[in-house]
Amino acid sequence: MTQKSTFIVLILIALKNRAFLLLIIGQILFVFGYNVMTSILPQFFAIDNSQVEASKLFALLLSVNGITVLTCQYFVFKFSQITSIKTAIIAGSTLMPIGLFFMGTLSNFVFQATAMILFTLGEMLVFTMIDIRIDEISEKDYKGSYYSLAGLQKIGALLAPLIGGVLLDKISNSIELFSILSIISLISVVFFIMSYKEITNTIKVKIEP
């Protein structure tokens, strides 16, 4: 039976489980990049285009996003079957920032749509696999608590418009702007890898006499 825990106990559990803590930091950075697309990208489009044109362009890209989700579910599922969860998460957290960068720096819609496809594939891979990963590293009696604490990833959704908005005011060059925003999100890869290494190191310590 799952033990009931106070909020302080839950925080202590998360701090004690370094693999989980690193995973959540990585997820915060990943969610940051995802929300840059929904909060900063449309504002950036409005700088060089009329409000109507910017809205149409963003709506078309969102349509590409939706179509990709609908048509690529099977391929993402098959990819997850032939590779490890680690590889899927790392691939996804790499594809999404790359897609974000090219959406913000390219002006041709075909290229932007292609970038959105990359972005969406990355989004699908990570969001699909992250729950499985949490289940793997969470303690048996506290699984519900771990999933609750996973909501901390929403910090990334809060930071995206704040940091992105400040950078949008300060930087007019699209390459500089989206390089910074994409790199912030890309750093999630480092934390995902560190999370896996933490588990590996823990296992080695337990095996050693």
CATH of domain 7-207: 1.20.1250.20
Name residue 47's amino acid: I
pLDDT at 64: 97
> What's 187's DSSP letter?
T
Check the CA dihedral 19-25-29-34 and report its sign: positive
Rounded to whole angstroms, the Cα distance separating 126 from 87 reads: 10
CB-based burial label for 72 (10 Å; 0-12, 13-18, 19+): middle
Give 10-residue mean pLDDT values along the chain (209 residues): 59 79 95 96 89 92 96 89 92 97 94 97 94 85 80 93 95 95 97 87 47
Predicted local confidence at residue 149, as pLDDT: 83
Query: Distance (Å, rounded) from C-alpha 94 to C-alpha 125?
Result: 10
pLDDT of 1-12, one tens digit each? 444 556 677 677
Among 80, 185, 65, smallest CA distance to 128 is for 80
pLDDT of residue 6: 67
**Cβ-based neighbours of 167, under 8 Å, separated by 6 or more:** 177, 180, 181
